[in-house]
Amino acid sequence: MRRSRRPGDDAQAVLETALVIPILLFLICNFIAVMVQVTVQEQLNAATALAAQSRFQAPDNAIDPPGMECCGTGHGALVTAGLPTGCRYAAASFYGTMTTYTGLLHWQLATLCTSGGGSGNAGNPPAQPVAYAGSPSSADVSCDIGSITAGGGVVPGYTDRALNPPSGLDVVECSASASLDFANTPLAWGVFWTPTLHARAEALPPPFRQ
Amino acid sequence: MGGEFKGAVRPRRMPHARGGQALIEFAVVLPLFLLCLIGALDAGLWAVQTSAEVSAVEQGAMIASSAGSSPTSQTAPDARAVTAAISGRLRTALFGTNVESWCAPDAGGGCAPDAAQRCPSTPVEVQNADGPRVVVVCVSEADPPACTPPPRGRVAPFPPGCEDSPLITVRVVGFVASFVPPGFGPGAGAFELPTNISATTHTLRFAP
């Protein structure tokens, strides 16, 4: 005996489809967004690590001459005249490595060169880095590389007291932060969160400089 | 005895109309299901492969930057060693993809960093030159301008930056294989995943 279709069957099928497809697309969009976030985070980690390391590719006391600038960023070139050459090398490495997905990133602008920061321990409070005189403040990356004062005194870079406690070791520390925005992508349909990515890297000077 | 089976469910044959409906539903759902499944697998694969590429180019840039890591070294990095190190790592991660080393041959038959920046810069260039499912690893070098006597009113070194060490870029570019076999996509290479990952750093040329 042939069973006739009931009038509600079609409506039920349409309703089920209308419920399931958006949920499915939502899940797919968010899955892809997480993958993109992981990838961008890895690239940010690599860029900051190379930036910290490349400070040591420049001579310790080299200073950029007048007219020197670096790295065509989204906010214009960074003027590095009067800054340590290693600071420009760090920026060049960072911007040269962070080349993909840049359209999705909103950077938290920072001072390119700083000095005197440090992690704390029981006997020493954490120290906030101080901007290097004349350093641009619209960089996407900030590197604590130390400085030499007008009187010839040496202000170390970042003092990591977790290394060689309690006095710590002077290292170069670079950090960058950005929020990942999917608003201008097709994923915006189902991705409603805007993650903030942080990356931080330290580099020890090579043995012949220690 | 016959009463024992009274009320038992008798198997019924599925009406033809319902069988046809199930078939159509299955035919509609299966491609969607496969699309979602393969898409999810490909997204995961893409993330794993990109992660491998990022760490490989970072390691390559580290190798390139420390090629002259003794205080007396003035030599450019050996591009062959850099590309070999990266290619070895990538071959284990990029299965189904050919990893090729690109370098500029020097006068002695060696492999010098590409100073003329002829390395492919987009995945499409690689595909046009080397075919599908190929990534190219290349090491390119940007040398600073030569120093010249400064003009009146300017100070040495001139031009600014002429004493910089070379800027080395290690790049992995091309299309990597996905889970969809060749020929099963809607077009040639339709499901291949473009990649263009690079890392840049200065080399160590002078280390007082």
> Pairing relation of β-strands A169-180 and A141-144?
antiparallel
Given an 8 Å threshold on Cβ–Cβ distance, is A97 in contact with B200?
yes
The neighbour count for residue A166, using CB atoms within 10 Å, is 9
Write down the domain spans for chain B. 15-202
Which residues lie across from A114 on neighbouring strands? A131, A144
pLDDT of amino acid B91: 87
Confidence (pLDDT) at B70: 43
- Interface contact B199-A97, CB threshold 8 A: yes
Q: Decide: helix, strand or coil at residue A24.
A: helix
Q: What would the two tokens of residue A83 be? A: 């800054």
Q: pTM of the predicted model, to two decimals?
A: 0.84
- Give chain B positions within 8 Å (CB) of A3: 15, 17-18
Which residues of chain A are within 8 Å of residue B51 when distances are taken between CB atoms?
38-39, 42
Can you give the pLDDT at residue B206? 52
Token digits of residue A153 = 């005194």
Task: Report the amino acid identity of residue A157.
Answer: G
Per residue in B58-73, is it b (16+ CB within 10 Å) or e — as a string? bbbbbbbbbbbbeeee
Q: A84 has which bridge partners?
A: A63
Query: Tell me, what's the pLDDT at B189?
Result: 58
Q: What tokens were used for A189?
A: 């349909």
Q: Do the bridges between strand B193-202 and strand B167-176 make them parallel or antiparallel, or are there none, so unpaired?
A: antiparallel
Give domain status of residue A102, yes or no: yes
How many domains are there within chain A? 1
Q: Which domain holds residue A89?
A: 9-203
Q: Is A49 within 8 Å of B207 when comparing Cβ atoms?
A: no
For A17, nearest residue in chain B (alpha carbons): B29
Give the pLDDT confidence score for residue A97 in this predicted structure. Answer: 94
ipTM of model: 0.83
Q: Using the beta-carbon criterion (under 8 Å), do A3 and B18 form an inter-chain contact? A: yes
Contact assignment for B164 to A85 by CB distance below 8 Å:
yes
Choose, out of A3, A21, A57, A69, the residue to mutate when testing the contact with B (most B CBs < 10 Å): A57
> Distances in Å between the alpha carbon of B120 and those of A207, B128, B136, B167?
36, 10, 8, 17
Residue A69 within a domain: yes
Residue A1 within any structural domain of the chain: no
- Does residue B54 sit at the A interface (CB-CB below 8 Å)? yes
The whole-number pLDDT of residue B157 equals 78
Q: What is the pLDDT of residue A5?
A: 61
Q: Which residues of chain A have pLDDT under 70?
A: 1-7, 73-75, 208-210
Contact A206 B69 (CB under 8 A): yes
As a whole number of angstroms, the distance between CA B48 and CA B36 comes to: 18
Per-residue pLDDT tens for B149-189?
888 877 777 888 888 888 888 999 998 888 776 666 655 55
Cβ neighbours of residue A152 closer than 8 Å, sequence gap 6 or more = none
Distance CA B3, CA A158 (A): 91
Asked whether residue A209 is domain-assigned, the answer is no
pLDDT, tens digit only, all 208 positions of chain B:
444 555 555 555 556 677 788 888 888 888 888 888 887 888 888 888 999 999 999 988 888 877 654 444 445 566 777 888 888 888 888 888 888 887 666 676 666 666 666 788 889 888 888 888 889 888 888 888 888 888 887 777 788 888 888 888 899 999 888 877 666 665 555 677 889 999 998 887 654 4
Q: What is the DSSP letter of A184?
A: T
Predicted pLDDT of residue B14: 57
End-to-end CA distance of chain A: 92
Of A152, A150, A151, A161, nearest in space to A127 by CA: A161
Rounded CA gap, A36 and A49, in Å?
A: 20
Per-state percent for chain A, helix, strand, coil, to nearest 5: 35, 25, 40
Return the amino acid letter for B136.
V
In a mutational test of the A interface, the residue from B28, B164, B167 whose CB has the highest number of chain A CBs within 10 Å is B164
Q: Which two tokens stand for residue B203?
A: 């080399």
Q: What share of chain B is helix, strand, coil (3-state, %, to 5)?
A: 35, 20, 45
Determine, yes or no, domain membership for A139: yes
| Predicted local distance difference test score (pLDDT) of residue B81 | 77
